Structure 1
Amino acid sequence: MNFLEKYDNFCIDLDGVMWNGHTAIPGSVDAINHLIKTQKNVFFITNNAALTREELQTKFIAMGFEADVKNLYTTGTAITKYLSRKYPNAKKIALMGMPGLRKCLTNAGYHIIYPAEMGKSLKTVEDFADFDVENDIDVIVVAYDVNFDYFAALYCSACLQNGAGFIGLNADRFFIFGKMRIPASGCSLRFLETATGRKAEIIGKPLSFMFELIAEEHGLDLSRTVMIGDSMESDIMMGINSGIDTILVLSGVTNRDGIEKYEHRPSYVMECLGDLLG
């Protein structure tokens, strides 16, 4: 299959496809730079909101990848679009998320409450009984956050029980860093969903919202567009939900045997991104 003849638009995941941790996956730099050199439209889609677009571009450059910042789509950039459409009157947000996400939301004009910081003075549940939980929180936004702890969850739970909106950037169970499976934001979401009986609205993969933003902004021909990722649960499922072809690469969280446990299938399977070049 000559993928470069078949497709004009390439939507590509990052972790497990282009790099693993801080190391580029062999062949990925050449593949990405060749696509851009041959004037293909390359869009990068990640559920990871830890970095801003500009910070992510710095990581690209350091590893040798070419990338236009406007073609970098994180759940951090998507959340501001989602909030403006679904919660147009929202002003105050309680956020579990890394600094890059906080910066995105602050720059968009939202007042951010950070429960992980507020809970540092608490030692017991009894302490929380006297804690002043603000009752004007419009939305709880949950993403991957290394500071997520019991008291942060307690604060978010109280806000949700007061009627705040509930958004999860993604429901990923884990991501790969080196040889380790690291618990991801889906673990935090399930904690809160179980405690409150509320179900979070998900904006990231495998839902199609992020792809819809790209398609709207760039006028993509879906028949000439492909999604490339390493996760059957998020990347490949997002492609299917978006009505486009998919390519699974085996350089990340999925091996060939692991495909069989899913009912859905990718359009194609490759060992790594470098195989795009044949």
Structure 2
Amino acid sequence: MKYQTYLIDLDGTMYRGKAKIPEARVFVDNLNQKEIDYYFLTNNTTKTPQQVADNLTNNHQITAKADQVVTPSLATAAYIKDMFGEDISNHSAYVIGEYGLKSAIFGTGIKLNEYDPDVVIVGLDYDVTYHKFELATLAIKRGALFIGTNADTNLPNERGLVPGAGSVISLVETSTQQRAHYIGKPEPEMIDFAVEAKKFDKSSALMVGDNYNTDIKCGISAGVDTLLVYTGVSTHDDIKKVSVKPTHEVESLDKWDV
């Protein structure tokens, strides 16, 4: 089957931290040459879509525009806008996360509230502190809705597998005895949001990623074909153990015929 839309993961698929994956650039060049639509579905909430696109273009020579980037920050912002509607400016949130997440959330018009917000949103935060965890825990205990951006326990970069957003969120889950409502991969909401925002037919789309537990499960749960590439998190031994296999598997993206 020739796919009309590609949904592409970043960390471990397009690059590993600051380290390039040369086959990734060739893969995206082929998509452009054949005029096939593609979007980057990343679980990274630390950067804005423009910053993600600039990193791809300037540091990895991978053609990308901001409107091709879909993040849990955008999906979470859409989720709370749907939840509160036109009344959102009368509601409040507390956010643990970097600028990419905070700019998307507070760009909705929702107010900042550290004490008794309506919703607590937790994502990856490079400067997370006990005080931030304390505020989030107490707010959730007071009744705030608890949203986690994504469950990635680790991120592949040039140093190895470093802690991801899921590691931060799990601490709040432990302290509150509550599971977060997750928005990012592997939840189908990420692809559902992308379909709604970008207006493509998911029956002819392909989810491409290196992590079975996030990228591939996201595609499976959303009813989208999947392509696992062995340049990041998941290994052959990992895939031998799962009952639902990826639709396709390749060692590297230069082995895939778009």
Question: Partners in 1 of 2:44 and 2:130 — Cα distance?
Answer: 22
Letter of the aligned partner of 1:150 in structure 2?
Y
Asked if 1:204 is matched to 2:200, the reply is no
Q: Pick one of 213, 222, 239 that aligns with 1:233.
A: 213
- Number of the residue aligned with 2:78: 81
Asked if 1:19 is matched to 2:41, the reply is no
For residues 10-49 of structure 1, the aligned pairs below 5 Å read 10-49=6-45
After superposition, the C-alpha distances for 1:182-216 in whole angstroms (9 at most, x for unaligned) are: 11111222211122122211000001112112222
Question: Partners in 1 of 2:134 and 2:66 — Cα distance?
Answer: 37
% identical aligned pairs: 28
Question: Partners in 1 of 2:199 and 2:51 — Cα distance?
Answer: 26
Question: Which structure 2 residue ranges, 5 or more long, are not aligned?
Answer: none
Deviation of 1:158 after TM superposition, in Å, equals: 0.6
The answer to whether the 8 Å contact 1:18/1:273 transfers is no
Letter of the aligned partner of 1:241 in structure 2?
S
Question: Partners in 2 of 1:140 and 1:223 — Cα distance?
Answer: 34
Letter of the aligned partner of 2:115 in structure 1?
E
- Number of the residue aligned with 1:9: 5
The answer to whether the 8 Å contact 2:81/2:108 transfers is no
SS in 2 for 1:251: coil
SS in 1 for 2:215: helix
For residues 148-159 of structure 1, the aligned pairs below 5 Å read 148-159=128-139
- Number of the residue aligned with 2:154: 174
SS in 2 for 1:6: coil
Of the structure 1 ranges 230-239 and 187-196, higher mean CA displacement relative to structure 2 is found in 187-196
After superposition, the C-alpha distances for 1:147-191 in whole angstroms (9 at most, x for unaligned) are: 222222111111001111110000111111214221111122221
Larger radius of gyration: 1
Question: Partners in 2 of 1:71 and 1:196 — Cα distance?
Answer: 36
For residues 1-278 of structure 1, the aligned pairs below 5 Å read 6-62=2-58, 63-88=60-85, 89-90=87-88, 91-112=91-112, 134-135=115-116, 137-277=117-257
Letter of the aligned partner of 2:62 in structure 1?
F
The Cα RMSD (Å) is 1.7
After superposition, the C-alpha distances for 1:110-141 in whole angstroms (9 at most, x for unaligned) are: 3335xxxxxxxxxxxxxxxxxxx623x11100
Question: Which structure 1 residue ranges, 5 or more long, are not aligned?
Answer: 114-132
Question: Partners in 1 of 2:239 and 2:188 — Cα distance?
Answer: 21
Deviation of 1:273 after TM superposition, in Å, equals: 1.8
The answer to whether the 8 Å contact 1:102/1:112 transfers is no
Deviation of 1:48 after TM superposition, in Å, equals: 0.4
TM-score scaled by length of structure 1:
0.86
Question: Partners in 2 of 1:253 and 1:246 — Cα distance?
Answer: 16
Letter of the aligned partner of 1:178 in structure 2?
E
Question: Partners in 2 of 1:155 and 1:96 — Cα distance?
Answer: 9
SS in 2 for 1:27: helix
SS in 1 for 2:213: helix
Question: Partners in 1 of 2:93 and 2:65 — Cα distance?
Answer: 30
- Number of the residue aligned with 1:126: none
SS in 2 for 1:274: helix
Letter of the aligned partner of 1:253 in structure 2?
V
Deviation of 1:24 after TM superposition, in Å, equals: 2.1
Question: Partners in 2 of 1:237 and 1:259 — Cα distance?
Answer: 12
The answer to whether the 8 Å contact 1:9/1:224 transfers is yes
